[in-house]
Amino acid sequence: MITMTESSRKLTKSDITKLAFRSVFLQSSFNYERMQAGGWLYAMLPFLKKIHGDDKAKLSQSMKDNLEFINTNPTLVGFLMGLVLSLEENNEDRSLIKGIKVALFGPLAGIGDAIFWFTVLPIVAGISASFANEGSVLGPIIFFLCYCGVFATRIIWTRLGYSVGVKAIGSLQEHSAAISRSATILGVTVIGALIASYVHINVISTIAIGGGHSIGIQKDFFDKILPNILPFGYTFLMYFLLKKKNINPTILILCTFIGAIILSFMGVL
């Protein structure tokens, strides 16, 4: 679809790397009216200036177009920025550029959130928290290094968007479903383990059965059925209330506290 002669290229490879770093400004002016639009434009601005040169009218038009509503994943946004800049550089029709931007930011947000918030974060957080809980400074160090690595991938996405351009859209759509599915499986497995390891509910009540003997509800009852059955059950209750009843998480946090305090007062937990 896009053929570009080398002479029409105004951006260098190092410009694209800079763009990857500047993509961090995506949320600099986040607000409810246009979400990331201001930051999206701010990140790309030096390069738009380079492309349009002293043609103020063109630059202004491009700035206005890129100030329209956008909301996507910050880690992956470089892909879209690279793509849009390659189109701008090639002097493509303005409505085509806008159309591609609008068509892609949603799916990109979906893939990015599935991978970075819902798979990478629980795994990295789970592993680093398990070190931190034992008082090992390795925990935060591992966490920090992993996210430096995640940040570095911005360079890959940005270069990919710029060089592969429109051709990449097809393969992105083709593979995105399989990739997010596998990522979700990994994430869900780890969350299962996180529930068992980090949700603590321990019933301290005992039932007196005469003759000075008593049965510990936790030790002799719940643990005999299945260890961690209460944490699993409570997490599923939260899941149910969040998903099916659409209850605000803040309310669930407050209810958890109130419930815990009442049960503490009664001596159950």
Partner 1 sequence: MHSITLIQGILLSVMAIICGFDFWLEGLYLFRPIIVCTLTGLILGDLHIGLLAGGLTELAFAGLTPVGGTQPPNPILAGVMTTVIAYTSNLDVKTAIGLALPFSFLMQYVILFYYSAFSVFMAKAEKYADEADIVKFGRLNILMIVIVGLTYGIVVFLCTYIAQEPMKALVASMPVWLSHGFEIAGGILPAVGFGLLLKVMLKLEFVPFLIIGFIFASFVHFSNLLPVALIGTALAIYVYYNDKNKVIVTQSANNEGEGDDYNDGI
11-40 binders of partner 1 (CB under 8 A): 24-35, 37-39
245 binds partner 1, rule: CB under 8 A: no
Cα–Cα distance between 209 and 260 in angstroms, integer? 27
Q: How far is the CB of 151 from partner 1 (least distance, A)?
A: 6
φ, ψ for residue 246 (rounded to 5)?
Answer: 55, 40
Nearer to partner 1, 85 or 165 (CB): 85
168 binds partner 1, rule: CB under 8 A: no
φ, ψ for residue 76 (rounded to 5)?
Answer: -95, -5
DSSP code of 183?
H
Structure tokens at 97: 């550029």
Amino acid at 223: D
Q: How far is the CB of 93 from partner 1 (least distance, A)?
A: 20
The residue range among 8-16, 78-86, 94-102, 174-182 that interacts with partner 1, by the rule CB under 8 A, is 174-182
221 binds partner 1, rule: CB under 8 A: no
List the beta bridge partners of residue 31: 35
DSSP code of 32?
T
216 binds partner 1, rule: CB under 8 A: no
Cα–Cα distance between 44 and 28 in angstroms, integer? 13
The residue range among 9-17, 86-94, 123-131, 158-166 that interacts with partner 1, by the rule CB under 8 A, is 123-131
Q: How far is the CB of 214 from partner 1 (least distance, A)?
A: 21
